[in-house]
């Protein structure tokens, strides 16, 4: 499912260049936008790498340090001191989703997160990651066991509890995907409909709302990721790790 948008001139140019090379393939809009985000993040990383300074940090370094501090704060608020270790993946997903959500506000571009394949890729990445961390924390047999055995629940109910837990965890992929996709797709669809009726003026408030919804959805994704990781790698008061 793809967002209903006006064709992007940039995508048309890229596909025309590909065709001129004799390659009979057309890159979908959302993949072009994903590539742009990847290149943008790579460029920022390379640009700041050679300019890092403790004594006289530049504006870009200060902005990035504030962003990292914000992300670490969110993770530690939800997970405690261990939250910092999960910054690479959760921080990258947050930045990617944030930029992807806001790209649609730029004329001639669109939001890759308004194509359901992109939110699904983010959701399945997070889902696999927190299960991987759960297995690392407890071992595979112990981690699987906690899907069936719960305190205060009769062991005879273990098979039913196991099925319910599996369904619950699989549904998280659907929930993460549809929450992100639905909000971004819906905002772009409303703007497009209003622009076709009363162009220029009426869609502006909805687009302004998109400047709020985009960061909010990235924050929700980050927070849910921290919550899922906490449940998968939880340590109780006796120092024993267990999954939920």
* pLDDT at residue number 206: 67
**Which one, of 183, 185, 190, lies nearest residue 207 by Cα?**
190
* pLDDT range class, residue 157, cuts 50, 70, 90: confident
Better-predicted residue by pLDDT, 89 or 151: 89
- Give the chain's count of helices (H) and strands (E): 8, 2
In DSSP notation, 108-164 reads T---GGGSTHHHHHHHHHHHHHHHHHHHHHH-HHHHHHTTT--TTS-GGGHHHHHHH
User: Does 190 have pLDDT greater than 80?
Assistant: no
Q: How many CB atoms lie within 10 A of CB 76?
A: 15
DSSP label of 201 = T
Burial profile 121-131: b = 16 or more Cβ within 10 angstroms, e = fewer: ebbebbbebbb
* pLDDT at residue number 13: 86
Q: Output the pTM of the full model.
A: 0.85
Place of tokens 């920022």: 44
Predicted confidence (pLDDT) per residue in 45-65, tens digit? 888 887 777 777 888 888 899
Q: Which of 75-89, 154-168, 179-193 has the lowest mean pLDDT?
A: 179-193
Task: Measure the CA dihedral 175/181/186/187, to 10°.
Answer: 120
* pLDDT at residue number 203: 60
* pLDDT at residue number 119: 96
Better-predicted residue by pLDDT, 2 or 95: 95
Predicted confidence (pLDDT) per residue in 111-150, tens digit? 999 999 999 999 999 999 999 999 998 899 988 888 887 7
In DSSP notation, 40-69 reads HHHHHHHHHHTT--SSS--HHHHHHHHHHH
Residue 176 has which token pair?
Answer: 């993460």
* pLDDT range class, residue 1, cuts 50, 70, 90: very low
Q: Judging by beta carbons within 10 Å of its beta carbon (0-12, 13-18, 19+), is residue 111 exposed, middle or buried?
A: buried
**Beta partners for 241?**
235
Asked whether the beta carbons of 244 and 93 are under 8 A apart, the reply is: no
Predicted confidence (pLDDT) per residue in 196-215, tens digit? 676 666 666 666 777 888 99
234, containing H or E segment = strand 234-235
181, containing H or E segment = helix 158-197
Phi, psi torsion values for 116, nearest 5 degrees: -60, -20
Mean pLDDT computed over 78-84 = 89
């Amino acid at each position: 499912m793809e967002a209903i948008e006006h064709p992007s001139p940039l995508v048309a140019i890229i596909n025309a260049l590909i065709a001129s090379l004799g390659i009979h393939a057309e890159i979908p809009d959302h993949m072009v936008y994903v590539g742009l985000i990847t290149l943008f993040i790579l460029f920022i990383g390379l640009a700041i790498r050679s300019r890092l300074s403790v004594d006289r940090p530049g504006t870009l370094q200060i902005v990035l340090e504030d962003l990292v501090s914000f992300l670490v704060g969110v993770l530690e608020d939800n997970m405690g001191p261990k939250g910092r270790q999960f910054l690479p993946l959760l921080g990258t997903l947050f930045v990617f989703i944030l930029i992807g959500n806001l790209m649609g506000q730029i004329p001639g571009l669109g939001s890759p997160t308004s194509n359901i394949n992109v939110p699904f890729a983010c959701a399945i990445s997070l889902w696999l990651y927190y299960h991987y961390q759960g297995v690392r924390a407890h071992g595979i047999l112990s981690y699987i066991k906690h899907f069936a055995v719960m305190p205060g629940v009769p062991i005879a109910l273990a098979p039913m509890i196991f099925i319910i837990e599996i369904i619950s965890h699989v549904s998280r992929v659907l929930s993460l995907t549809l929450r992100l996709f639905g909000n971004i797709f819906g905002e772009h669809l409303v703007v497009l409909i209003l622009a076709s009726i009363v162009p220029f003026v009426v869609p502006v408030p909805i687009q302004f709302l998109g400047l709020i919804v985009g960061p909010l959805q990235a924050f929700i994704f980050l927070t849910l990721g921290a919550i899922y990781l906490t449940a998968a790698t939880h340590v109780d008061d006796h120092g024993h790790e267990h999954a939920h």
